[in-house]
Structure 1
Amino acid sequence: MRAAKRRTSREVRTGNRFAVLRAMYALGTPTRQELAGATGLSFATIATMVTELLAVGVVTEASREDSGGGRPRSRLKVAAGRGLLVGVDATETYVHVDVFDLAMTRLVHHDHAVGEGTSDPDRMVGEIAEGVRSALAAAPDGDVLGVGVSLPGQVEPDSGVSLFAPGWGWKDVAAQALLEERLDLPVHVDNPLKATTVAELWFGHGRRVAHLVTVNLGTGIGAGIALDGQLVRGATNNAGEWGHTTLVMDGRPCRCGRDGCLEAYIGVPGLMAQFGERHPGHRYLEGGSQTHFLAAVREGLEADEPEAHELVELFGEQLGVGLANLINMVNPNLVVLTSWAARDLGRWLLPVAEARMRREAINGSAAVVDIVTSAVPTNPVSTGMAAFVLEGFLERVGLPSPTSAPLRRLAEA
Structure 2
Amino acid sequence: MAVAVQQLKRISGNNIVTPKGYKAVGIHCGLKHKKYDLAVLISEVPASVAGVFTTNAIQAAPLLVTKEVVKENGKMQAIIINSGNANACTGAQGMADALMMQQKTAEKFGLAQELVGVASTGVIGEKMKMVPILNGIEKLKPEASLEGSIQFSQAILTTDTVTKNTAYKTVVDSKEVIIAGTAKGSGMIEPNMATMLGFITTDAHIESAHLQQALKEVTEVTFNSITVDGDTSTNDMVLVLANGLAGNEPLTPSHPDWATFVKALHTVAQDLAKMIAKDGEGATKLIEVEVDGALSDSEARKIAKTVVGSPLVKTAVFGCDANWGRVIAAVGYSGASVDPNGITIKIGETVVVTNGEPAQFSEDLLMQYLKQPEVRIHVHLNVGSGQGLAWGCDLTYDYVQINATYRS
TM-score, scaled to structure 2: 0.24
In terms of fraction of residues, the more helix-rich structure is 1
Higher strand share: 2
Task: Give TM-score scaled by structure 1 length.
Answer: 0.24
